[in-house]
Amino acid sequence: MTAYTEMGLEEIRELHSELEHKYSEYRALGLKLNMARGKPSPEQLELSLPMLDIINSTSELVSVDGTDCRNYGVLAGIPEARALIAEMVHARPEQVVVCGASSLNVMFDTISRAWSFGVGGHAPWSEQDEVTFLCPSPGYDRHFAICEHFGIKMLPIEMDEDGPDVFQIKELVKDPKVKGIWCVPQYSNPTGCSYSDAVVRALASLKPAAPDFRIFWDNAYIVHHLNDASENQDHVLNMLDECEKAGNPDMVFEFCSTSKVTFPGAGIAAFASSETNVAEALDAMKAQTIGFDKINQLRHVRFLKDAQGIAEHMSKHAALLRPRFEKVLEIFEEDLAGTGIGAWTHPQGGYFISFTGLEGTAKATVSKARMAGVTLTDAGATWPYHDDPHDADIRIAPSFPSVEELEQAARIFTVCARIAALEKIMLHS
DSSP class per residue in 335-380: HHTTTSSEEE---SBSS-EEEEESTT-HHHHHHHHHHTTEEEPPTT
Give the span between the Cα atoms of 360 and 427, in whole angstroms. 11
pLDDT at 57: 84
Q: Residue 203: left if φ>0, alpha if ψ -120 to 50, beta else—which one?
A: alpha
Q: Which of 293, 303, 373 is nearest to 100 (CA)?
A: 293
| Res 306: pLDDT | 97
Residue 80: which H helix or E strand, with range? Answer: helix 79-89
Helices 307-336 and 403-427: angle between axes, nearest 10 degrees: 40
Give per-10-residue mean pLDDT for the chain (429 aa).
90 97 96 93 98 90 96 97 98 98 97 97 96 98 98 97 97 98 98 97 98 98 96 97 98 97 96 98 95 97 98 98 98 97 97 97 98 97 97 97 96 98 91
Say what the pLDDT of residue 12 is: 95
- pLDDT recorded at residue 58: 84
Distance between CA atoms of residues 219 and 273, nearest Å: 12
The DSSP code sequence of 297-333 is: HHHHHHHH-SHHHHHHHHHHHHHHHHHHHHHHHHHHH
What the chain holds in terms of domains, given with CATH numbers, is 4-44+312-427 (3.90.1150.10), 61-305 (3.40.640.10)
CA distance 213 to 178: 7
Q: How far apart are CA 172 and CA 178, in angstroms?
A: 7
